[in-house]
Structure 1
Amino acid sequence: MQFSVVIPTLDEADHIDPLLTRLFALDLVPGSFEVIFVDDGSRDGTPGRVRAWEAQANVRLIERHEQPDLAGSILAGVALAQSDVIVVMDPSHPPERLPALVAPLLDGSHDVAVGSRHVPGGGTGGWPHRQWLSRLGDWCARSLCDVSDATSGFFAFRRELAATLSERARGYKTLLELLMAGQGKLRVVEVPVCFHQRTHGTARLSFHSQWIDLKRLMTLAGGTVSFGSTGRFAAVGLLGIVIDILLFQWLMSRGAGLALAHIVSFFAAAAMNYPLNSKWTFQPPPAGYPRWSHFGRFLTMGLFTLLMRGGVLAWLVYGWHMAPMLAIFPAVAVTAALQYLGSAFYVFPVRQDLPSADVRWRVASLGIVAFAVLLRLIYLGQAQLIPDEAYYWNYAQHMELSFLDHPPMVAWLIWLGTAIFGDTEFGVRIGAFICGLIAMGYLYALARNLYDKSTGMRAVLLLAILPFGFVPGMLMTADASQMAAWAATLYYMERVLLASDGNRAWLGLGIAFGLGILSKYTLGLLGPAALLFVILDPASRRWLRRPQPYLAAALALLMFSPVIVWNMENNWVSILFQAERATGIGNKFSLHWLFLHMLLMLTPVGLVAAALALWQGGDDHPDPCMARRRLFVRVFTGVPLAVFFCLSLFGAPKFHWTGPVWLALLPTMAWMMGQGTELRTIASRVRAAWKPTIAVFLFLYAFALHYVVLGIPGIPYVGFGEHYFWREATHEVEQIVETVQRQTGQKPIVVGMSRWSVATSLAFYNRSENGEPMDIRSRNLFGDKAAMYDFWYPPDPPTNRPIILVGMIPKELEHNRQGHEISPMLVQPGPVLERTILRENKPLRKIYYRIAQGYLGQTNSP
């Protein structure tokens, strides 16, 4: 007998005859298979229908009297089976696909064959809510194993694999249990299958069954969700919620600030929750497990949850103008969900049947990336713009084909975001957030192609955590779109140079490269890198004689044409400006600064890991094709890095310039993270250091965002205030303007005495509803260069309108950048004055201003 078909049933009487008729009509050798029905207590006569077939065909029946459970039914059928190949199906699956399903097992090439709906040729039909439930289950399960349809109920496996199932296996996803028990050692193939909505019988898939499967999936992933923990957690959590909300409202009624009230109430509730959860809700730690470590995990999880909750409160109170007394309720609900997941997977994880290290890394990657993305999204519209973002917002207010210091992509994204969401921080930054997600997607695909799925997930984890990846995904600068385009370009480069994917990949490459140079000229460095790779790689040289690379380059050039047209109309000023910057800022040896900037972009652990990956990463990989992949990584990292190295010999590069360079190296760094754990080499020590590095930097991001939005009680705003908190500073400047206008009867001109930071920040936050916006200019009024302000607002002729100079430091209000005094250009200039900006009676920063009665023009300067 070649294989046994196990069919669990529950009220399937109307399906038995059609199914068996189709099964025995298959063009198979008579007697080559048997059919075992396992009935879970049907009340519609299903057992009788099966018995009617026992006398005429190789059909047997098992009647279970326990609680209905699909996994138990399958195991009961396996125990009775006479073949070493087991097929599991139900009456909704097409029996015509049986030969294709069992063939890979019968020929010995595979251990498991999956009837898949999600591979080419597969699909579903006529599934209403079931399709969405199934998709949700697939999405959750797919992250843990390398099968696209891990929740399929139609599969074949070798009989001995049933012994690997855990005794606690239950629910409706036995295939997932098998795959997880195999820990990636199984040979699995997916066979396309089309499923259809059943016309009779009872479907086992329901919201309740999906909830059971989700809990089991969490257990397989290493989370503690058994022993009634969900209900107990809810009971403990409800008590904590009551304490949290009552104490928060009491503190707010006593005049405490939002930050102080929510921090104190959170820790009060957590102090009560921890002992109850550790002793009652979840399994207590085993004997000998250090209690201080257990509590340290709880404290770490609590801090992350607290900082996330601060963003939710700020979003509701400041963004949606909800009363704090009401906002605390949804904020606490978010806190409870995060605490449950954190407790299940981090504070109280399972201690038995631990998943493999690979699965643990996958789960950690999913959780950390989800937290980092959610953190960005929640604080996206609450953290004030930095001056750079305000400057690019001004780009969008003066739309042109290009701009002096950057191509137009950043302006286009801000224009689109603000057109949809208004001139808000969220509207400005949503483009950066989406670009961050795009970069993650392309990086995952690149790392998966170069190595495997687990490496792809770890690569995304690194991009979400390392400063060069987190910051562009949060702040709307030209680096945001460049990061996405750089990742996309690398992906398509790999497809055309290593995988030879053909015309579609070349089209994608042309578009990605074009969008990249529309974002930032730096991406052009990937062009020479590609040429060098083609020269060094014999298999790729054939592309030099084919039209696709040249057509892709032509497409990218066509997309770049707006920048060319703008430069032609403006005497190539942008090209000359960028060429001057490329020769170095400051004209001095700055190689040491380059390494410092790399340290800031990658963290110390990341920098060492990058060096190891560049030097020896992948040398011991068993894949014979790894030599080409290693060359790909080294060339596309090394060429741009060598350019910055050379530039730093003659001038100081900007600290963020090397950021996207590391995208090509991240897959190798991620692959090295998943190797052995012995602490005998530098690489092993780096692997061990990644976990604390990830935790520390994720905490720093959350802490910094909470700090700038809500503040941290007891920690003053010191060190960076002169470049931030422009919303409050603008309000003070508006008051000064109103006072001067009331005294003189004329609308004053406000001059931001920096290159563009002050003027653009004031312009964005100037939201006065009582009158016209302020008339804002920049320092080019006094003979200095002011980037795009030289185009937008050329120096005015002399005027007797009042002039208000605003700056971040006093000396900016007295001399221009050439060292010339400003006073001779002003009429009756006053002294430099100072104002302290407050929030809730606490100092945020200072601004400096100077009032004059008119402007004489630059011709009167010395």
Structure 2
Amino acid sequence: MAEKILRWIENYPGAVILAALVVRGGFLLANGLDLIGDEAYYWDWSRWPDWCYYSKPPMVAWLIGLSTWLLGDFTVAVRMPALLLGAVFLWFFYATARAFYGARGGALALLLILATPINVLANFLMTIDPPLYCFWIMAIYYLRRALFDGQARAWLWAGCASAAALLSKQAALALPAMLLAFLLTDSQRRHLLKKEFPLYLLPILIAAVPILWWNQQHDWVMFGHSRSHFGNPEPVPLTKHLQWARDFLLYQVLLVSPGIFALLLLSSLRAAFNFGKLGAKQRFLLLMGPALLLGVLLLSFLQKAQGNWPMPFYFTGLILLAGERWAGYWQRSFKYALAFGFLMVATTYALPILLQAFNLQNTALDPTKRFKSWRELAVDVHFERLISVPQVEDTFLLALGHRYLASELAFYLPDHPRAYRFETSGEVSSQYEVWPGPVEYVGKNGFIIAEQTAESVPVVLVGAFERFRFLAEIANPDRPGAKYYLYLGENLKYWPDPIKRRADKESYVASDN
């Protein structure tokens, strides 16, 4: 049975990828889940195209902007790029595995990637990850052609794919870094450092220029944000280190599936310990992914690491694992790992139905809770807006709270108002603090939504309006018992920029000293 399936996939890989696209497209259209906070946040970025943003390069905003320009500001339109990028990813992933290990290796690798729950999420949620994954595997495909088939033009294509990956996420800098490591450790290909490697770097450097220019204009904010993810500001007990490592491992097991993760980890460790005995192709696959994965696993013990950080590092690891299975290793355990992986994938797709069938919706066991409630909140907020100001088109929205509150309401309110955020700390902690405040709305009305009562609203904000009044108390659908408070600020007189006020205060204190 397994042999027949593999032979069929070898003969019809395009049909498998097309079937996956159809299943995922149906899930996208039928699931009814709201955008998560990051998706709405990146959608808000897309309304103001730029060369970079507070925390990430611009690719995710560009793709969402193109999709919503074509299809409108709908949930499906925001997520459509993830669906299409996922299909392109699968094709290049299969083609890369086939180039390394033949048709059977390609079929095995395709089964492996389809049996990972992360591949479901990466083809559904439009975050920075789908474009990164797609362009990453494209870069690996063209690098393989350049290094092992001697195709000169492939160097430039690999550079373009790596540049697109860099425009998606800073982690793509690992591609040229690990390629350099491979060339330095491969005496037969070290000569490629003279001409071919600089040609590969050229598109990456071109893509980096606008990112660097934008950051220079904005106090290097993206680099500051990235730096905040590394290191511990104060000593941490051993128990905390162990907790970080445990949580990170659990995240990997859930996203990759237990069996596949275990086999890939064993395969990677075996390859790493036998690095000197590996062929050039195996060393390339190890360095372009599993070696980085092992590094992040170590990092997760030293500090808190985000669970999605190592995901692109799995790709060549899965191809390496498929090659080992093709060579006769892991035969029995491979079957069990695949079976359990596909069970987890099927459960992921069926989750909305299962939660409803077992009456688990909105309980502590419902992992889809963060996909809900925003649309409901927007309906309640819009109702109160219409009662107070029948014509809301020329008003703005101001959030006191998390950036998701601003971006989700901006998306789900029917008029998609311009959203702003008042950061009481005076620190730049999101793209909303990078953008200018609502100075263009001076003389106009704004709706302020907050989690604090009127007594706790900053005095400087209240004083910025001619009149400031409480409108309604709105239930927080995501947290029973918690409330949102909606206010109307009439006739904005000026914008009390909290970032500028803090900078002016610090400048004043410094001058006194």
Query: So what's the TM-score if we normalise by structure 1?
Result: 0.50
Cα distance in 1 between the residues matched to 2:171 and 2:29: 29
Percent identity of equivalent pairs:
21
Cα distance in 1 between the residues matched to 2:300 and 2:93: 28
1:705 deviates by 5.0
1:566 deviates by 1.2
Partner of 1:164: none
Cα distance in 2 between the residues matched to 1:576 and 1:557: 21
Find out whether 1:426 has 2:426 as its counterpart: no
One-letter identity of the residue aligned with 1:564: L
One-letter identity of the residue aligned with 1:752: A
Q: Is the contact between residue 610 and residue 669 of structure 1 (CA under 8 Å) also seen in structure 2?
A: yes
CA offset digits 1:103-156 (Å, max 9, x no partner): xxxxxxxxxxxxxxxxxxxxxxxxxxxxxxxxxxxxxxxxxxxxxxxxxxxxxx
Find out whether 1:776 has 2:419 as its counterpart: yes
SS at match of 1:751: strand
Q: 2:287 aligns with which of 607, 614, 635?
A: 635
1:484 deviates by 0.7
One-letter identity of the residue aligned with 2:398: V
Q: 1:850 aligns with which of 482, 485, 496?
A: 485
Q: Is the contact between residue 617 and residue 672 of structure 1 (CA under 8 Å) also seen in structure 2?
A: no
One-letter identity of the residue aligned with 1:593: D
Q: Is the contact between residue 117 and residue 348 of structure 2 (CA under 8 Å) also seen in structure 1?
A: no
Find out whether 1:606 has 2:256 as its counterpart: no
Partner of 2:511: none
One-letter identity of the residue aligned with 2:323: W
Find out whether 1:813 has 2:439 as its counterpart: no
The structure, 1 or 2, with the larger RCO (C-alpha pairs under 8 Å, 6+ apart) is 2
Unaligned runs of 5+ in 2: 463-467, 506-513
Partner of 1:435: 85
Change (3 A) 1:415 1:822: same
1:846 deviates by 8.0
Tell me how large the CA RMSD over aligned residues is: 3.9
Q: Is the contact between residue 605 and residue 690 of structure 1 (CA under 8 Å) also seen in structure 2?
A: yes
Q: 2:21 aligns with which of 373, 388, 399?
A: 373
Partner of 2:222: 574
Change (3 A) 1:800 1:359: closer
Q: 2:269 aligns with which of 601, 612, 615?
A: 615
User: 1:789-804 residue pairs with structure 2 within 5 A?
Assistant: 789-794=432-437, 803-804=447-448
Find out whether 1:732 has 2:380 as its counterpart: yes
Cα distance in 2 between the residues matched to 1:394 and 1:846: 29
Cα distance in 2 between the residues matched to 1:821 and 1:510: 53
Q: Is the contact between residue 89 and residue 133 of structure 2 (CA under 8 Å) also seen in structure 1?
A: yes
SS at match of 1:452: helix
Partner of 1:565: 213
SS at match of 1:687: helix
Q: Is the contact between residue 52 and residue 58 of structure 2 (CA under 8 Å) also seen in structure 1?
A: yes
One-letter identity of the residue aligned with 1:787: S
One-letter identity of the residue aligned with 1:693: F
Partner of 1:788: 431
Find out whether 1:525 has 2:174 as its counterpart: yes
One-letter identity of the residue aligned with 1:514: A
1:741 deviates by 3.0
One-letter identity of the residue aligned with 1:408: P
**Matched pairs, number:** 478
Cα distance in 2 between the residues matched to 1:450 and 1:549: 21
Find out whether 1:655 has 2:295 as its counterpart: no
SS at match of 2:52: coil
Cα distance in 2 between the residues matched to 1:489 and 1:501: 15
Q: Is the contact between residue 439 and residue 488 of structure 1 (CA under 8 Å) also seen in structure 2?
A: yes
One-letter identity of the residue aligned with 1:760: S
CA offset digits 1:612-632 (Å, max 9, x no partner): 221336999xxxx96222212
Q: Is the contact between residue 468 and residue 601 of structure 1 (CA under 8 Å) also seen in structure 2?
A: yes
Find out whether 1:415 has 2:65 as its counterpart: yes
Higher helix share: 2
User: 1:628-707 residue pairs with structure 2 within 5 A?
Assistant: 628-645=280-297, 647-673=299-325, 683-704=330-351, 706=353
Cα distance in 2 between the residues matched to 1:746 and 1:541: 62
Q: Is the contact between residue 780 and residue 790 of structure 1 (CA under 8 Å) also seen in structure 2?
A: yes
One-letter identity of the residue aligned with 2:133: M
Q: Is the contact between residue 290 and residue 314 of structure 2 (CA under 8 Å) also seen in structure 1?
A: no
1:398 deviates by 0.6
Change (3 A) 1:558 1:784: closer
Unaligned runs of 5+ in 1: 1-221, 223-353, 678-682, 807-811, 838-842
1:510 deviates by 1.0
One-letter identity of the residue aligned with 1:405: S
One-letter identity of the residue aligned with 2:103: K
Partner of 2:98: 448
1:822 deviates by 3.8
Cα distance in 1 between the residues matched to 2:318 and 2:250: 19
SS at match of 1:449: helix
One-letter identity of the residue aligned with 2:449: L
Q: Is the contact between residue 385 and residue 392 of structure 2 (CA under 8 Å) also seen in structure 1?
A: no
SS at match of 2:55: coil
1:671 deviates by 3.4
Cα distance in 2 between the residues matched to 1:580 and 1:745: 39
Partner of 2:251: 597
> Which moved further from structure 2: 746-755 or 535-544?
746-755
Cα distance in 2 between the residues matched to 1:376 and 1:853: 42
Cα distance in 1 between the residues matched to 2:59 and 2:417: 28
User: 1:494-533 residue pairs with structure 2 within 5 A?
Assistant: 494-497=144-147, 499-533=148-182
Q: Is the contact between residue 593 and residue 652 of structure 1 (CA under 8 Å) also seen in structure 2?
A: no
Q: Is the contact between residue 271 and residue 286 of structure 2 (CA under 8 Å) also seen in structure 1?
A: no
SS at match of 2:484: strand
Change (3 A) 1:656 1:785: same
Query: So what's the TM-score if we normalise by structure 2?
Result: 0.80
Q: 1:391 aligns with which of 41, 64, 87?
A: 41
Q: Is the contact between residue 436 and residue 473 of structure 1 (CA under 8 Å) also seen in structure 2?
A: yes
1:610 deviates by 0.8
Instruction: Report the structure number with the largest CA radius of gyration.
Output: 1
1:547 deviates by 1.0
Partner of 1:475: 125
CA offset digits 1:728-768 (Å, max 9, x no partner): 321121112223336x9998754334432111111111215
Partner of 2:508: none
